[in-house]
């Protein structure tokens, strides 16, 4: 079968070949990897973050986003957000918002914490369609917003599943 | 959605101790971006909310979007001042809920 593909590739564009094979087993196997178009932009991610945090002036520092520099598999990239806060009733982190700027959608997750959290740190795993910036902001109980972003390089995208 | 979530949480802690709680629930987290063999979109179906409540008081809630990986893992911290029960609730797009509880003793 691979011989046939090679012959076809001489005359046809790669996408035509894939189309021809659309009903075959190759497509069935790879179909789940083909992801949708990347619709989010750095602009839409910034808008989302400012909508979620209710401001567009951010402070830096106090917040760290731990992610691998290079993610081999974009389907599951571990991340940890840590915010430097005493987490007492008078001073705590209200929420942490995450956004990605080149995924199909900018939204990733929002975490709402309370003083009962004890420590402002959350971990999860996210999908990354391609190499992009991940942005995290922390909304503090005094209203200030701290922001951090990190560029993560992705070898295999993961938004198609 | 009947599969069991996994929770990692110590059974007994010192009063006032801050502990990490790890949660994971099996779920495919269908993004709504994928297409089936006929080219139609597979509808979005994800867990969009995780809540942790201790003795009736909310500790942390998470709003999840399709960008969260399949089998969503969520770890966070909690300060435990008294013995009690942690309740975890996962809600999916169709309104389905999975609830589980864990007891903790504070000495």
Q: Are residues A95 and A148 in the same domain?
A: yes
- In a domain? residue A161: no
Q: Which two tokens stand for residue B79?
A: 């300060």
- In a domain? residue A67: yes
pLDDT the model gives residue B56: 93
DSSP string, A123-150: EEEE--SSSEEEEEEEEETTS-EEEEEE
Q: How far, in Å, CA of B13 to CA of A74, rounded?
A: 37
- In a domain? residue A144: yes
pLDDT the model gives residue A56: 83
Q: Which domain holds residue A128?
A: 42-154
Of A13-22, A26-35, A77-86, B26-35, the range with the highest mean pLDDT is A77-86
pLDDT the model gives residue B104: 95
pLDDT the model gives residue A115: 94
Whether the per-residue pLDDT at A157 is higher than 80: the answer is no
**Domains of chain B by range and CATH?**
6-106 (2.60.40.10)
Q: How many CB atoms lie within 10 A of CB A128?
A: 28
Q: Residue B91's Cα: distance from chain center in Å?
A: 9
CB A65 within 8 A of CB A109: no
Q: Are residues A51 and A106 in the same domain?
A: yes
Q: Are residues A76 and A130 in the same domain?
A: yes
pLDDT the model gives residue A17: 46
pLDDT the model gives residue A54: 86
- In a domain? residue A116: yes
Q: Are residues A30 and A85 in the same domain?
A: no
Report the gap between the CA of B99 and the closest CA in chain A (Å): 19
- In a domain? residue A160: no
pLDDT the model gives residue A20: 45
Report the gap between the CA of B24 and the closest CA in chain A (Å): 9
Q: Are residues A83 and A21 in the same domain?
A: no
pLDDT in tens, A69-119: 999 889 999 999 999 999 999 999 999 999 999 999 999 999 999 999 999
Contact assignment for B78 to A112 by CB distance below 8 Å: no
pLDDT the model gives residue A18: 47
Q: Residue A161's pLDDT band (boundaries 50, 70, 90)?
A: very low
Q: Residue A6's pLDDT band (boundaries 50, 70, 90)?
A: low
Contact assignment for A123 to B31 by CB distance below 8 Å: no
A125-A130-A131-A135 Cα dihedral, nearest 10 degrees: -50
- In a domain? residue A159: no
Q: How far, in Å, CA of A122 to CA of A85, rounded?
A: 13
DSSP-derived 3-state class of residue B50 = strand
* Residue A124 near chain B (CB below 8 Å): yes
- In a domain? residue A112: yes
Q: Are residues A29 and A56 in the same domain?
A: no
For residue B28, which residues of chain A lie inside 8 Å, CB to CB? 161
- In a domain? residue A63: yes
Q: Please enumerate in sequence order all residues whose Cβ is within 8 A of that of A141, keeping only pairs 6 or more positions apart, or say none.
A: A90, A91, A92, A93, A94
- Read off the CATH number of the domain in which A141 is found: 2.60.40.2470
Q: Which two tokens stand for residue A20?
A: 């021809």
Q: Are residues A14 and A80 in the same domain?
A: no
Contact assignment for B35 to A76 by CB distance below 8 Å: no
Residue A115 DSSP class: G
Q: Are residues A81 and A58 in the same domain?
A: yes
For residue A125, which residues of chain B lie inside 8 Å, CB to CB? 68-69, 72-73
Predicted interface score ipTM higher than 0.95:
no
Q: Are residues A28 and A61 in the same domain?
A: no
Q: Are residues A9 and A87 in the same domain?
A: no
Q: How many domains does chain A have?
A: 2
Q: Are residues A77 and A47 in the same domain?
A: yes
Q: Residue A29's pLDDT band (boundaries 50, 70, 90)?
A: very low
Q: Are residues A127 and A72 in the same domain?
A: yes
pLDDT in tens, A36-72: 455 788 888 888 999 898 888 899 889 999 999 999 8
The tens place of each residue's pLDDT in chain B, 107 residues long, gives: 557 899 999 999 999 999 999 999 999 999 988 888 888 889 999 999 999 999 999 999 999 999 999 999 999 999 999 999 999 999 999 999 999 999 999 98
pLDDT, greater one: A8 or B22: B22
């Amino acid at each position: 079968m691979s011989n046939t593909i090679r012959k076809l590739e001489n005359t046809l564009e790669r996408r035509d070949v894939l189309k021809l094979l659309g009903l075959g087993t190759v497509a069935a196997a790879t179909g789940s990897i083909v992801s949708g178009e990347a619709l989010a932009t750095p602009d839409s991610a910034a808008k989302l973050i400012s909508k979620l945090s209710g401001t567009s002036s951010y402070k830096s520092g106090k917040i760290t986003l731990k992610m691998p520099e290079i993610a081999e598999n974009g389907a599951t990239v571990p991340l940890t957000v840590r915010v430097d806060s005493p987490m007492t009733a008078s001073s705590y982190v209200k929420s942490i918002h995450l956004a990605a700027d080149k995924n199909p959608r900018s939204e990733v997750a929002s975490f709402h914490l309370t003083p009962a959290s004890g420590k402002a740190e959350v971990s999860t795993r996210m999908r990354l369609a391609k190499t992009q910036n991940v942005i995290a902001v922390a909304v503090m109980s005094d209203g200030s917003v701290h922001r951090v972003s990190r560029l993560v390089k992705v070898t295999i995208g993961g938004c198609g599943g | 959605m009947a599969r069991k979530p996994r929770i990692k949480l110590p059974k007994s802690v010192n009063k006032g101790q801050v502990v990490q709680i790890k949660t994971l629930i099996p779920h495919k987290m269908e993004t709504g971006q994928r297409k089936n063999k006929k080219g139609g979109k597979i509808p979005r179906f994800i867990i969009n909310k995780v809540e942790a409540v201790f003795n009736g008081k909310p500790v942390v809630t998470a709003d999840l979007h399709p960008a969260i990986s399949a089998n969503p893992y969520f770890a966070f911290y909690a300060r435990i001042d008294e013995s009690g029960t942690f309740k975890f609730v996962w809600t999916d797009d169709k309104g389905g809920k999975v609830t589980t509880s864990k007891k903790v003793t504070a000495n």
